[in-house]
Chain A
């Protein structure tokens, strides 16, 4: 005996209507809009800065020991007046401590001697690692250099 003997024609219509509503409901649920929270942190106005002279590399990776600077303390950088030309000037080529920097700057020094012989160049190796301050260097450069090339980061 087939199942149609138990369900009349009117019942079939009702069954189809219910199935249609269920399908609609399921579809709506799938496309229902959810409200979710933003997972990202908020700008704090706090920036990290280079470590103190002599600080280890790890210390600058430690939020408890790395010096910081607030947005209010950030001062837009006023660039120094430029030189009229490099003729007869002293340019310091400062190796900041990344591998290959010194060798690159030595090649640059050769370029100057071959192409702009009036320019005096001095290759200087910054003290400490690349991530810490070298407070003795800045006044020395101010005193001895007309311009500075810093490199090579990366």
Chain B
């Protein structure tokens, strides 16, 4: 409006976002004349809005309407006539050497972690991690930002390895973590609504690296599930430039963000084709699938009527991903739903929602057959990406004695306690 159309403009954003928009303006070379009313503006009374309009800008202390009028009428300053675009310097590859204690503090205090202790990415550890792929360490994998408009940060295979080390991962996990990085999706996009994410691994790699798709798969009981999900969050913080209150504005945040519900699909027990096959990959290929939403809406029991009830009861942004135990999926198959795609079509049609489309309804089969339940989530499926392209020629690089947490105790006939 200002530059191309020559119309003087007075933009307004609530005071909560003052720093955010001013900084954004500097990176884009825009010296806009902002006015900042108090917040919130949404869902407050007319009386409150009246007071806002007749009161002061809480950031500058200037009467709000004086500021609006000045924004449109006060002559331009020299810096407004000659704006500059801020350029950010490249970061060094290595940090200043220091003791372990000081470096742990440095990473924590700079906001480069998730608040939990990390494994420091020494040159030796990163070099060891890089044995998990044949790709050149300096190959660019992608770029991302947790915002929709700030400068995106570029990352290489080596940068991904650094964050994988920090998460506590081993070289065997690197191809999966690289596949996630290559989607360029941050797990914690900056939305005031506070997104959560999920990553689901399909194909042979899940078993090779010991992922859990059975009892407690989405919980804290599996090394690979945990470090892969955690690496995604660390990459999102460090590549996506997530800084709470600056670039990251999720007002509540989301507890799913620590490990992003990282799991493998229970392909062995699922009565349906694996999820990645339904998205066009071969069963023999390994993939990661990226989902994003806000929440797990409810626990469901029963069959297609239960699913339909969920779509009618819980409002979503037009997407549902049902995370279901294999027993629930088998019950649906017994009902006649041989293809999940047909079930999606039926639900979209019967839900009565004008926003719901079959492609917006997905099913993931995970769990250990202890209860035929499903979790209704509002997740949208964004992307399924290949893991295989990141694998070394000789296959997954396993440690001589791979680290494994206790395996899920499978006791299908209920007689294990008797030692039978």
Please list the residues of chain A having a beta carbon within 8 angstroms of any beta carbon in chain B: 30-50, 57-58, 60-64, 66, 68, 71, 74-86, 91, 98-101, 103-104, 107-108, 110-111, 115, 131, 138-139, 141-142, 145-154
Contact = CB atoms under 8 A, between A and B. Distances in A.
Contacts, number: 277
Interface in B125-174: 126, 142-145, 147-155, 158-159, 162-163, 166
A115 B52 CA distance: 16
B308 interface: no
Interface string B63-83: 001001100111110001111
Interface residues of B, number: 106
B1 A138 contact: yes
A91 to B, nearest CB: 7
A100 B121 contact: no
Contacts of B143: 41, 44, 46
24 contacts: A30-B100, A35-B122, A38-B93, A43-B88, A47-B150, A48-B152, A57-B317, A61-B148, A77-B29, A77-B83, A79-B2, A79-B32, A79-B80, A81-B6, A82-B73, A104-B37, A131-B148, A142-B6, A145-B7, A147-B10, A148-B7, A150-B12, A151-B12, A151-B35
A1 to B, nearest CB: 45
B154 A38 contact: no
B219 interface: no
Contacts of A149: 9-12, 68, 72
A104 B42 CA distance: 9
The residue among A40, A41, A141 with the most chain B CB atoms within 10 A of its own CB is: A41
A48 B32 contact: no
Contacts of B43: 99-100
B61 interface: no
Contact of A41 (B14, B32, B238): B238
A152 B95 contact: no
Contact of A154 (B7, B17, B191): B17
Closest 8 CB pairs of A and B: A41-B153, A151-B12, A154-B14, A153-B13, A99-B42, A76-B29, A100-B41, A100-B42
B87 interface: yes
Contact of B144 (A37, A41, A85): A41
Contacts of A77: 2-3, 28-32, 83
Contacts of B184: 63-64
A39 B103 CA distance: 12
B90 A43 contact: yes
